Structure 1
C-alpha cells in the first residue's frame, strides 16, 4: 500500500490511512508524473504534473517516506527538498489539497539517491557549453547544451525560464524537453550546472525559442509510426502495436494505451528500453468482428504525458 501524506500536528508527518475528505466534497485525484532527481549531496528536486479539472487545488504536499517534507501553492508543480543525507536513497510521494481542505490520495512513489558528499568543495562547475534548442510544436521545446566540468563531478543541471528554475536533470544528461508551454509565445532558457556540494555554475547563454502558434494537441511529443493489427491465439484476440518513441531528452520508459476512448493499460520497461521501434501485444477478448480504436502516449522525462499518437482502428477476426 502506498504511503499517504496527511496533515498532522504541526504539519510535519505523513501516515498510512484513508483519504481525508474533510467532510466537504470529493478529494482531488492523485498527482501524476512525479519525478525525483538528486540536485546535490543534500537535496532532491521533486516535480509532478499539475492537476486540471475537478476541485481547485490550493496546495501540494510532498512526503519523504512517512515524513512531510514540503508544500507549495496549487499553481506550482516542483520543490527542492533539502537537508538530506549524502549517499542515501529517498522515496517521495505527492498529495493535492483542495480549497475546501480536502486531501487527495498519494501519487505513485519516486526514488532518488543523493551522491556522496564532497568535503571542503567551494569550486563551482564551469559554465555549460553552448546551449541550443528547438520548438517541438506549440507546447514544448527541446534544449541541449555542452557538458560542464567540475573537480568533483557535476551532480545535476538546472534549467531556468527567465529567472525561475523550472526543471532539473541528472549530471549525466545534457538535453531536456520542457513541456506545458503556451502556443505562439517567445521564451528564454538558461542552464546552470550544480555539483554535489551545491555549488552553482554561471548560467549558459540564453536560448530564445518561440513555440508554434495554434494548438497541435502535443503531437510534437507523440510516438510516431504507430501501427495496430489483431491476431488470434488460443481462442482469444490480441492487439499488436508498434511505434517509434518520441524525440525526448532521454529514453522513454513508460507509455499509456487508450482503447475505445478510455485508458486501457500502462507499460513500464524495467529492462532494456527500446530506442528505435517498440512493440506490445495485449488481450482484448474472444469475440470476432469487434472494432476497436487504439492510440498511445508516452510519459516524458520531465514527468508529463506527451501527445497522443494517431488513433488506429482494428477489427478482431477481420
Structure 2
C-alpha cells in the first residue's frame, strides 16, 4: 500500500510498490500468483475425489490451475473454475492433493496446503441409488453467499457425499455426515435455484431434491451511492515514464474514506491509503502506467467504506500515453 498527502504526485512511487501492482506489470517480469487457499478434498465415490479451492484474488493474474495428487500433476483446470473431480482412484485408499495457480509468462504459484482424503470401500454390484434428500431448504447468507440445509438420511443409506446443483450444474460437494453447506461466489440481488443430490460409494446418484429458490440481497458495495464521482483522468509524461493523473470526489458514506483501490483495465493496480486526514472535496493522485507510448488504459477506483467493505466502482475513464509526449486527456463530464 502507498501512503501520501493529498495533491502530492509520486514520481518515485513505482519503486515502493509490490510486484502485484501496476509497476510490476510493466517492468517486463511477471509476478507469480499466490498459492491457492481454502483447498479441500472430499471422496465422491470409492474411485473418485472432488477437490475444491478458493478463487485467486483479483490482483493475481491467474491463467489456470494445476491439481497434484501425491506430488504428481494430474489435471489442468481453467482459471474460471475452482473445483474438479479426480477419477481412477483405488477404493479404501488415502490420497493427498495440492493445487497451484498458473500465471502470466509461465509463472506458477507455490503449492497450496496439502489436504488428504480416504476413499471408501466399494460395494460389489451396487446399482441401487440413494433415496432423494429430504427437508432441503435455503436462505441467503449475505449478498454473495447462501446456506443450504437438509435432513440427515436415515441409516446413512451408504451415502458418501452430497452434491449441490445450481441451474443443472454441480457447484459444490460435501461429506456424507454434513447437513448443511455454504455456497459462495453468488451475485447480489440475484434469484437462484438449488437442488441436492446424494451419491454412494458405487457412484450411484439419487434423484434431485425439491428445488430451493432464494434471492440474495444487495450488498453495500453494490449501492451506486458508494461510488466515487466525477472521476477525471489525464495521461502525463515525466522522467521517461507515463502517469495517469486522477482526481475524484469521495462518496458520502457517513464517515471518512480511509482508502481506495485503483484498477487498470479491470485489474487491481494498487491500494491508496491516506497518510493523514483524508482530503475534503476533490482528491488527486498520480498512478504509474508504464513507459510505452501509444498505449491505452481504462481506469476506475472504489472507496473503502466505514464498515471495512469496498464500495461500488466509479465510472471508468480512458487514458492514452501519447507517442509525442503531449498529455492526452480522457473525455469526462
Deviation at 1:152, TM superposition (A): 5.6
> Are positions 1:147 and 2:138 aligned together?
no
1:171 maps to 2:176: yes
Establish whether residue 52 from structure 1 lines up as the match of residue 76 from structure 2.
no
Q: Are residue 82 (structure 1) and residue 87 (structure 2) matched?
A: yes
How big is each residue's C-alpha offset from its partner over 1:20-51, in whole Å with a ceiling of 9 and x where there is no partner?
Answer: xxx95221110001011111111111000111
| CA RMSD after TM alignment | 2.1
CA contact (8 A) 2:30 2:104 kept: no
Select the residue among 169, 182, 185 that pairs with 2:187.
182
Q: Does 1:208 align with 2:217?
A: no
Which residue, 120, 125, 144 being the options, matches 2:125? Answer: 120
Q: What's the TM-score, normalizing by structure 1?
A: 0.59
C-alpha spacing 1:199/1:182, structure 2 compared with 1 (3 Å)? same
- The Cα shift of 1:140 comes to 1.1
Q: Which gives a bigger RCO, structure 1 or 2 (Cα 8 Å, sep 6+)? A: 2
Report the CA distance shift for 1:149/1:127 in structure 2 as closer, same or farther (over 3 A): farther
Listed as ranges, the matches of 1:28-67 within 5 Å are 28-67=33-72
CA distance in 1, matches of 2:73, 2:98: 9
SS at match of 2:133: coil
| Cα distance between partner residues in 1 of 2:100 and 2:138 | 33
Mark the CA change 1:27 to 1:132 in structure 2 (over 3 Å): closer, same or farther. Answer: same
TM-score (norm 2): 0.56
Gaps of 5+ in 2: 1-27, 223-258, 260-306, 309-333
Whole-angstrom CA distance in 2 between matches of 1:86 and 1:72: 25
Mapped to 2, the partners of 1:216 and 1:88 lie a distance apart of 45
Q: Structure 1 residues 25, 44: CA separation in 2 closer, same or farther (over 3 Å shift)?
A: same
Aligned residues between the structures? 198
Q: Tell me the secondary structure at the aligned position of residue 130 of structure 2.
A: coil
What runs of 5+ residues in structure 1 fail to find an aligned partner? 1-22, 218-260, 262-309, 312-318
Equivalent position of 1:199 in the other structure: 204
The CA distance in 2 between the partners of 1:214 and 1:102, in whole Å, is 35
Q: Partners of 2:155 and 2:83 in 1: how far apart? A: 26
Give SS of 2:135's match: coil
Aligned-pair distance for 1:216?
7.2
Q: Which has the larger radius of gyration?
A: 2
Classify the secondary structure of the residue corresponding to 1:100: helix
